A and B are shown apart, each in its own frame.
Chain A
Amino acid sequence: MRKKPWRQVILDGATYLATLLSVFALGMIFFYVIREGAHLLSFDLLRGDYHARGFVGLVEEETQGSFNLTGQQGENRYLVERLGLVLEQSFDLAGDGVIKVAYIDEASPLRRLTNQDPTSEQSFIGLETGAVLRRVSYVDHPTSLTSRGAASMARDMNDPDRALREVIFSTEGGGIRGSLITTLYLIFITLAIALPFGVLTAIYFNEFAPINRVTKAMRNFIETLTGVPSIIYGLLGITVFVPLTVRLTPAENANLIAGGLTLAVILLPVIIRTTEEALKVVSQDHRFASLALGANKTQTTFKVVLPQALPGILTATFLGIGRVIGESAALIFVLGAAIRDSVRIFEPSTSLAVHIWSMMTDEPANIALSSTIALIILLIVLTLNLAIKTTVWAFDWKGRRS
């Protein structure tokens, strides 16, 4: 075998090296989000409220006694025999350190507290397993705080000299349900608008439009728009779509419809371009065959050409969904940055990407939860990718074999 010239060896080497580095860099993303965020991934996170609901309960009568808590010991668990309570040093859904109620006896006095919230109809509230203890105050004694840890709080509460006065607790917060639902809504609204418009526009340009300077200019213009940063579309959203929706719908400010409209405009160039590419590769022979069979242009386009472009349109859909899930900058304007637990289409909320932004602008930044959300986003994108690949494959298979 002849020796390769050194130039070629260098080129070969550069090819391998570049590939290796690219794959490594891309793999890093997965590695990073999994390492940082995998431990927070749970169904409770997906289902949970973001905002913890706080309660303030007054301890009216305190039965002095002792509860038998044998069998409740464990790592990071602290028993409060006096009140029939087990505290646990734990983390909430967002990974912040909290003190949770790991167990509470049926007869515990803390099951029945006077509700201090004047706006509430409920006159009594009670601690439940899973509740997060925020603060416990006593008559004539300093308050127990979360920051001092569960051990210290349990010790204070168990002290027979300290008469309990007030217990401040909350539900566990940090869940991302609201942002998840918002994201799903956004995908739906955006595609419902962008797909029909984009596909029909692509059909016009590829099948019907005369080839002249005007249509060429329009196509170039659309092509240019695929590269425009989304924040600019966000400006369009806040100056056009938000006022428009405020005027036409019950919305009062930023809202999901405006968000969907803005994203739809962001997607339009992508969908038009991808669909056009898909239409272009449909064999001209099929168009002629259809027309020669006495079908008119519309029939040919929608019965022969469009079905063959479906895999391409599905790809466009997938790219679109990817953009919707990943978009944050434009949405902060038109959909808001305040995380909501109950999502309404005429109200502001946040998508998962904006949720990440919000977590990262917190003080201190919650990198773990951000990574978890990133992981969720990656999983959604991956699932969608597979789903679409399968569908395209099924289409192909049906066309070729079935």
Chain B
Amino acid sequence: MMTTVFNIENLNLFYGDFHALKNIDMVIYKNQVTALIGPSGCGKSTFIRCLNRMNDLIPEAKMEGCVRFDGEECQIGGYDVIGLRKRVGMVFQKPNPFPMSIFDNVAFGPRQQGIKQKEVLQGIVEKALKQAALYEEVKDRLTSSALSLSGGQQQRLCIARALALEPEVILMDEPTSALDPLATQRIESLINDLKEDYTIVIVTHSMQQAARISDYTAFFYMGELREIDTTEKIFKAPRLKQTEDYITGRFG
């Protein structure tokens, strides 16, 4: 029996009157890679943002139901979202390093936690960059601007920046869609390495990517979770015809 990290119960989300997520029940397992697939606009990003409460920042978004992290009680209001976000990191679609040095980017999270000692920060930064498989490329220029890196390097830097907080879960919303095939490959192998220690939830539009890197795949359609199972099952013998059609590229 695998441990669960997220237990999602009867989750609904509205953007004003628009019902973007409908009655979602789902579990996310620890140290597994869960891929979220589905046609554009089906609510994947909206769903992944529920996991670290980034939807709270969208004034018109209203969440109902339960997203229980790590066995916590079901809470919607008055929840310690800051504490949650330290434990659930996020990597965005577009690489978005801050216009600061490489070092400062990675040290940003820890610094906001009040860590000030240079040696401690150096240790954290080095470890995170190594985990993100970026260290060798940037170790000689940690003080140069993060914006001087290539797109693929920037995305790995953003992963390192999230890892520096030693989160338990990493959410990735189409992390490779802005990257070339080579950079994509590096991120994919990185995800493979990371799942030893982290739980990863990844949104992707690439079926091959989902098949290559994920253990579980969830198929969303029009705000509903239509099917979730091990990736093997979803790709070999999906329960629904619709899932099969989507995976084989017949629609979406």
Contact = CB atoms under 8 A, between A and B. Distances in A.
Considering residues B54, B57, B112, B145, which has the most beta carbons from chain A within 10 angstroms of its beta carbon?
Answer: B112
B54 A286 contact: no
Nearest to B84: A294
Contact of B144 (A294, A296, A307, A401): A401
B135 interface: no
B54 A402 contact: no
B108 A293 contact: yes
B24 interface: no
Interface in B90-143: 90, 92, 94, 96, 98-101, 108-109, 111-113, 143
A299 B90 contact: no
A290 B165 CA distance: 12
A283 B112 contact: no
Contacts, number: 76
> Main SS of the interface on chain A?
helix
A288 B91 CA distance: 10
Interface string B43-62: 00000000010100101000
Chain A, interface residues (CB within 8 Å), range: 20 to 34
Interface string A275-303: 00000000101101111111110010001
Contacts of A299: 112
A289 B92 contact: yes
A79 B91 CA distance: 88
Contacts of B156: none
B158 interface: yes
A402 B145 contact: yes
- Of B59, B108, B113, the most chain A CB neighbours within 10 A belong to B108
B94 A292 contact: no
B86 interface: yes
Nearest to A398: B145
Contact of B147 (A211, A288, A290, A400): A400
B54 A288 contact: yes
Contacts of B148: 400-401
A137 interface: no
Given A292-B52, A401-B144, 6 more contacts: A293-B86, A296-B82, A299-B112, A308-B99, A398-B145, A400-B145
28 contacts: A285-B92, A285-B94, A286-B98, A288-B54, A288-B92, A289-B161, A291-B57, A292-B52, A292-B54, A292-B85, A292-B92, A293-B85, A293-B89, A294-B109, A294-B113, A295-B109, A296-B112, A303-B108, A303-B111, A304-B98, A304-B108, A399-B145, A400-B99, A401-B144, A401-B145, A401-B148, A402-B101, A402-B143
